[in-house]
Structure 1
Amino acid sequence: MKNSAKFLFQLSILIVIYLIGSFTVKYLHLQIPGNVLGIVILLFLLWSGVIKVEQIEWAAGWLLRHLGFFFIPISVGLMTLGNIVKVNGWILLSILFVSAFIGIIAAGKITQTVIVKSEKEKVKYHDHAL
């Protein structure tokens, strides 16, 4: 029973942050989705230490494990947009390829930077140990 209450409390924190983002977008007439603003708010709250990772970790982990399930309505909705995909599909596909390429390049460069920095620290530590 205690675990259920903890999970529901963590889930309610995430839902409240989502609702704050959605209401803010609605009332300020912002041109971004409310869930995106909610994620930015969550990032700020985590970064500032107002919310600790431990306070949402269990519910967030559960949501991430079941993320594929949440895409089913989106996939079904895309089926109704067949004409748009027929006409503008090449543009969408181009955007997907370019964004994937940028993501792969960025991840590779960051990984290389971390590896080089790690190797330099190992050499520096090894030189000081001798």
Structure 2
Amino acid sequence: MNIIRIIVQIAILFGFSFLGDLVHTYLHIPLPGSIIGLLLLFLGLSLNIFSVKWIKQGAGFLLAFLPLLFVPTLVGIIKYPELFTGKGVLILLVVVISTIITMIAAGKSSEVVGNKTKEREQKKKWHKHSSQSL
């Protein structure tokens, strides 16, 4: 039963990707369809249209295999070492710096969202507690 649940959840995730592709194709939005699909998924989760539990196991399954997607890239880099001579070193430096900046920005933004979520939950508890004591 667990395998079927994971397959259905992966299908839901691919459905959002497909929906994003459709939106991109018909509305001519200058974003890739996969990004639009992720934004639609984010909106659905943020607006409580559906629950995280509907996709949690499927997403975890896909994330477990994510490192395998980087293997062909690394093999390509090893196969063409001349990319790192001359301007290739500058490209590598730019990639490393932009990766670090992206990691910092993602960490800080998730920290802000986490803090706001905690504050919201504490306010709910406080309002619930104060309304019960009246």
Which residue does the alignment assign to 2:51?
A: 52
Paired residues in the alignment total 111
Query: Structure 2: 5+ residue runs without aligned partners?
Result: 116-134
Which residue does the alignment assign to 1:41?
A: 40
Which residue does the alignment assign to 1:10?
A: 9
* In structure 1, distance between residues paired with 2:100 and 2:40: 28
Q: In structure 2, do the counterparts of structure 1 residues 52 and 74 end up closer, same or farther at CA, with 3 Å as the change threshold?
A: farther
SS of 1:71's partner is helix
* In structure 2, distance between residues paired with 1:82 and 1:26: 38
The C-alpha deviation readout for 1:54-74, integer Å capped at 9, x for no partner, is: 110100001011101233455
Which residue does the alignment assign to 2:67?
A: 68
* In structure 1, distance between residues paired with 2:40 and 2:24: 12
SS of 1:32's partner is coil
* In structure 2, distance between residues paired with 1:17 and 1:74: 26
* In structure 1, distance between residues paired with 2:19 and 2:44: 13
Q: In structure 2, do the counterparts of structure 1 residues 35 and 80 end up closer, same or farther at CA, with 3 Å as the change threshold?
A: farther
Q: In structure 2, do the counterparts of structure 1 residues 9 and 31 end up closer, same or farther at CA, with 3 Å as the change threshold?
A: same
Equivalent pairs: percent with the same residue?
Answer: 27
Q: CA RMSD in A?
A: 3.3
* In structure 2, distance between residues paired with 1:60 and 1:93: 30
The C-alpha deviation readout for 1:12-55, integer Å capped at 9, x for no partner, is: 11010010111221223333222111111111111111121111
Query: Structure 1: 5+ residue runs without aligned partners?
Result: 115-130
Residues 113-128 of structure 1 aligned to structure 2 (within 5 Å): none
Give the TM-score normalised by the residue count of structure 2: 0.61
Which piece of structure 1 moves more, 60-69 or 18-27? Answer: 18-27
* In structure 2, distance between residues paired with 1:94 and 1:37: 30
Give the TM-score normalised by the residue count of structure 1: 0.62
- Amino acid of the residue matched to residue 50 of structure 1? I
* In structure 2, distance between residues paired with 1:35 and 1:78: 26
* In structure 1, distance between residues paired with 2:26 and 2:87: 32
